[in-house]
Structure 1
Amino acid sequence: MQKKWKKIAFTIIGITIIFVGKFIGAFISKSLALFSDSWHLLTDIASLILSYWGVKVALKSANHKYNFGYYRFSIFTALINNLSLILISVYIFYKAILRYFNPVNVEPSGMIIFSILGLTVNTIVVLNLRNNSNNMNVKSVFLHFMVDALSDIGVLIGGIIIYFTHLPGVDTLLSAILACLILRNAFKMTIECIKILLEAAPEDISIDELKESIKDLGGIIEITDIHIWSLSKEILSMTAHISIKECNIENCESRLHEIQHLLKDKFNIDHSTIQFEKSTCGSCFHSKPDHKHCCNMCIDKCGDEKHQKIINI
């Protein structure tokens, strides 16, 4: 994690340099595509600073107030970053529409020079971050600059086309395409952040497969009341009730060791809480004779009752 915030700090310095160059170049060349790209870089700098803060805070240890640690801070900052990208992509598209109805002569040489400068820096940034995309904040930054590198290629191609054809409308078309690229990636990342904050089960883990893998260890009757969620993109947690045939202290300790090894090695689940019992879900509150009701937090109990409630609604 410490290496990740150092990489982000390095990226902040590089992007600040390129922003100043592109912003000046946009005024010289009057290129909307270059101006849109430089404006986007300004939000990138803000998002990088926010990401830097999020990754630094995530390094703090758990305490009595934040007993799950500070991993969610990095998800929260990644969400803000991607929401800002959605807003800026809408703004760029709006500016493209205005430029379409009010054409402006574009200086292609400035577009070419500054897009080459941007492409060089963005390529260095992408290569610097490419092996650290498991962290949501770093992944967000990585996608930012992948899009930036593509944007520079687009501006470069646009500048070359305008230089030879003298068609300034190409610049407007490119800025609209760039806005769509930014919006697509930002929207995808925003949905991913929201799912983590809502404690949805990770998409790359099948609960049915996980249950079968545990049962394959032998001596397992059933796995119930299972919950899997992400504290951050790379930190997964799980709780479950597991009924076993031989429910004694010695066997439970041995079983727990095997199960936790399986969860870490096969599913990358770092933190698990396992409750052993003789009967299936026998220790759950809703399983008691005087508390028979449907529990909305249990995915494997009262299935018919839940279905009937949905039909009645």
Structure 2
Amino acid sequence: MLPQLHALDPRLPSPLQEVRDERFDGRGLRLLLKRDDLIHPELSGNKWRKLAPNLRTALTERRSALLTFGGAYSNHLRATAAAGRLLGLPTIGVVRGQELADRPLNPVLARCREHGMRLHFVTRAEYRDRATPELTARLRGLFGRDVLVVPEGGSNAAAVHGCTALGAELRGQADLAAVACGTGGTLAGMAATGPPSLGFPVLRGDFLTSEVSGLQQAAFGAPRGDWRLVEGFHCGGYARTTPELLAYAEDFEQRHGIALERVYVAKMLLGLTALAEAGRFAPGTALAAVVTGAPPPEPPAPPEPPSR
């Protein structure tokens, strides 16, 4: 690890916590929570694992800034901004939705700006072209040719290599690992070195299989590991929820005293619980569910009205 990265002070390996839950216990299953949310207070979960290799590149190559992409509630943007502040590395966040530029910032984007991230809003049509050379060239024209451009969610070959450590930490500790998937980088790296793995997509569509395969090809030159995707638990799509999901998350929090992030983690656990209750796992199986992040910050309390 570069000396500068010690400023991030990660807690590795992350704890593996067994929880007793009759929905698993009653079927002879063990539920283990891989508490990646405890790696770092501001770069929790897979954000540390995916960002660390890219941060190392930015520092060793003396890049002027790290530029990356995300939606209005992107945990990736928030983590990147926090890392930039801690390391003294300028960061730029390209945010989907130009109409948001004229609105008050939500708590996630407000935290990004507090950390010093420069926010650049683009139209949704432009954002769809985020991986094209044309948009990359235009952004480098705006912010400097030597900025390091990192994809949405931080998922690139470097990030996949960073997530292989997660798989290695789970190898021999669990029979099966489960993780929520947005861009697929965590699954691609974890499955390469860890136990058989299940990915629970949080977006609609069937594009993720090719994305994970492509990331493994870029990182390793060929597919690796035993993994598959489990569809049907996106609850309407990215950042969407259903009454069932909210009830499940609240019940889980009350049972186990662990706050659940709703966009990714709660959906993965909802899916894993449904599979367990349907008898999809053999008795005796140890299931490791990766808690990839913590809930976003609460919005600040409104100021007290002035006394008269």
- Give TM class, smaller chain: under 0.3
TM-score w.r.t. the length of structure 1 is 0.26
Q: TM-score, normalised by structure 2?
A: 0.26
Q: Which structure has more RCO (C-alpha within 8 Å, separation ≥ 6)?
A: 2
Which structure's CA Rg is the greater one? 1
